[in-house]
Amino acid sequence: MRIARLARLTHRWLSYAVALQVLAWVIGGVLFAWLPFQPWVKAGDFASPPVPRLQTRDGDALVAGLQSLPPGTALRSAASVAGPDGALWKLARQDAPTLWLRVDGRPHVPPDAATIERFAATIYRGPGKQAGPATHLPEVPARLGLVQETGGRGKLWRVAFDDAQGTRLYFDGTSGEFVTARTEAWVWYDLLWRLHIMDYGGGEDFNNPLLRAAAPLALLLVLAGAILTVQAAWRARKRQAPLRG
């Protein structure tokens, strides 16, 4: 009886403490299982990321660009990316802004709205139409209070489309490089993921103190419920025994 009473009290008070979080875990699990991940969340049905097209001679621009850098410049990486008007060399420097070089050797000029809109039209694959002009955003507003569509990154161009998912394409404000595609499915997925792992900031730390505290409490809630279930089944069996006799 003591075990049963303890189980009832534990189950009752823990349900008050973690019920909403358990509900968030369950709802999130259902959404993660049923929401089409690649087609909707990753916007596979709505956008096709561009691939830079390079030729052997395009390395000449990279060599010339590297030779023009001030002596002692520390580079972290060099990569080719697809820009609105062709491939670009992206030179990430240590403690300095990124440098952009056109592979055809011409000076790189930051894109305007019309250039970004033309580039977006080559990337978009959905059934909708462009919902408005390209918008330059110093900061990307948070969605649903928690969701950062670009991870806090700003100074971007955004082009929106009027399909069922409200697809949005983001481009770097300086280079025009395609950054990411976002949909309403992605927003809800990200929100429930943050609630699922209890990381309301970056949304990536699934080993944070809040989750570490809530998980054992949820386990105790389940164990207490299991004890009560076994007890109820045992009592029901005892009541039915005289009837069978």
Q: What is the pLDDT of residues 42-97, one digit of tens each?
A: 999 999 999 888 776 667 777 777 777 777 778 888 888 899 988 888 888 887 88
β-strand partners of 169 = 159, 181
Gyration radius of the chain over CA positions: 27
**pLDDT per residue as tens digits for the range 205-224:** 777 787 777 777 777 767 77
Name residues whose C-beta falls within 8 Å of residue 54's C-beta, 6 or more positions apart in sequence. 80, 87, 103
Q: What is the pLDDT of residue 7?
A: 61
pTM here is: 0.81
The answer on pLDDT for 171 being more than 90 is: yes
Mean pLDDT of 117-121: 96
Q: Where does 9-151 show beta strands of DSSP type E?
A: 75-83, 86-93, 99-102, 135-137
Q: What is the pLDDT of residue 21?
A: 81
Q: Among the listed ranges 3-7, 64-68, 167-171, which one has the minimum average pLDDT value?
A: 3-7
Whole-angstrom Cα distance, residue 167 to residue 55? 33
Whole-angstrom Cα distance, residue 51 to residue 119? 12
Give me the sheet containing 99-102, strands edge to edge: 75-83, 86-93, 99-102
